Chain A
């Protein structure tokens, strides 16, 4: 079962094999958690969103059909879950801040630390959909077409979001 594709594992789980879900979970827990962690302001919210998303995946297991690829399906559910979360917030609430500092890097020079801090601030300052595009690209490994599919926009829009996000992050590193 280790060598099975994500899609085969999901179908096996839908047919009642819990062990298939364990394999799938081991593969996708980190990218999916990172997706929510980069968007949610605090760890507790990220945990709730992450757990809620997996519950939706479990609840929708019988509706999974291949295609689409499992990762696009998974992140589509994650995207919808995140949008629901944003909608539940007050419209006037500030944009969710990005990921807080995870760990210190004592071995790095001050310049490097400052550079990394600027980068982190730039990630935090990205508009939601640009940040989502770059997270889906770098954390989930989705291509532009899959990002477009997951976020429900056209390919050109997805490409544009990714381009803007990349440009801003690059500028933060070079300033």
Chain B
């Protein structure tokens, strides 16, 4: 595994025989570490279980029953919905009111202005107040409906103007699902030449390395990184976002990827 003819060693590794033979020998004498059999068994069982096909919960002979049940439930649901559905509001009737009906009810029907004046004169003061209150409420409702309609119209207008002006449309899921272009691997020739470190630099580097890993902040938090990638997608910076996503997958190959960032 650690021989000098290791195919994983790059050209730079071949040029630098990094670990002296005496260190390799002493290392080998540390003893081969082997996982216990029970751990082996647990891992292999877990691996097998992960790729086992889930068994069908229902035998095939009951398939028709499942279809029938689904259809019956659907029909029943539609029937119940139709039963509970309220009739549409009808227009006010224009037929003349019968003689002796309550004056307030008579006001519901449209009449000629002369007839209305005549009727109003006949009404009691309480009935007049009630009619006035009802008219005020109707006027208020009509006033509220107008701004709503205006705002809806404004929104539609804005959308059409956006599409005409070529402004980017809001990001959709299919944009996120576009294939990620893989960056070509860096060629060995393009790699920068090693720069020999001076003594103070080397000391500083060693001091930094002597610091425990957990105290350093060089490990990027995966969740925060994913949030940044999501923000890049939302801002429309698709190329940068995809490159970041690719780098994330290389750095955290086992981290679960949210649904909206799946490549």
Q: Which of B20, B205, B212, B254 contacts A77 (CB 8 A)?
A: B254
B254 touches A59 (CB 8 A): yes
Contact B29 A31 (CB under 8 A): no
Contact B194 A156 (CB under 8 A): yes
Q: CB-CB < 8 A to A163: which residues of B?
A: 18
Partner of B47, one of A18, A69, A81: A18
B34 touches A30 (CB 8 A): yes
Contact of A11 with B by CB under 8 A: no
Does any Cβ of A come within 8 Å of B143's Cβ? no
Does B13 belong to the interface (CB within 8 Å)? yes
Give B215's nearest chain A residue, CB to CB.
Answer: A91
Q: Are B253 and A73 in contact (CB under 8 A)?
A: yes
Task: Give the residue among B27, B34, B194, B251 with the most A Cβ atoms within 10 A.
Answer: B27
A-B contact count (CB 8 A): 190
Assess the A138–B212 pair: CB atoms within 8 A: no
Q: Which B residues between 29 and 43 are near A, CB-CB below 8 angstroms? A: 29-36, 39-40, 42-43
B residues near A91, Cβ cutoff 8 Å: 212, 214-215
The yes or no answer to A45 lying at the interface (CB within 8 A) is no
The smallest C-beta distance from A79 to any residue of chain B, in angstroms, reads 10
Q: Whose C-beta in chain A lies nearest to the C-beta of B210?
A: A127
User: A169 contacts which chain B residues (CB < 8 A)?
Assistant: 23, 26-27
Contacts of B31 on A, CB cut-off 8 Å?
Answer: 99, 102-103
Of B39, B209, B215, which one neighbours A161 at CB under 8 angstroms? B209
Known contacts A123-B30, A160-B205, A170-B23: A16-B257 contact under CB 8 Å: no
Q: Which residues of A contact B18 (CB under 8 A)?
A: 137, 144, 159, 162-163, 166
The answer to whether the Cβ of A114 comes within 8 Å of any Cβ in the partner chain is no
Whether, in the assembled complex, B91 has its beta carbon less than 8 Å from a beta carbon of chain A, the answer is no
| Interchain CA distance A65-B8 in the complex, whole Å | 18
Enumerate chain A residues within 8 angstroms of B111, measured Cβ to Cβ.
Answer: none
**Interface range for B:** 35 or more
In the complex, A40→B36 CA distance in Å?
A: 15
Total chain A interface residues with beta-carbon distance under 8 A: 83
What is the distance, in angstroms, from A37's C-beta to the closest C-beta of chain B?
4
Q: Residues of B contacting A67 with CB < 8 Å?
A: 185
Residues on B with beta carbons closer than 8 Å to the beta carbon of A130: 209
In the complex, what residue of chain B is closest to A153 when comparing beta carbons? B218
Query: B65 at interface (Cβ–Cβ under 8 A)?
Result: no
Q: Which residue of chain A has the shortest Cβ distance to B1 in the bound complex?
A: A141
Give residues in B with beta carbon < 8 Å to A: 1-3, 6, 8-10, 12-13, 16, 18-20, 22-24, 26-27, 29-36, 39-40, 42-44, 46-48, 50-53, 185, 191, 194-195, 197, 202, 205-206, 209-215, 218-219, 249-257
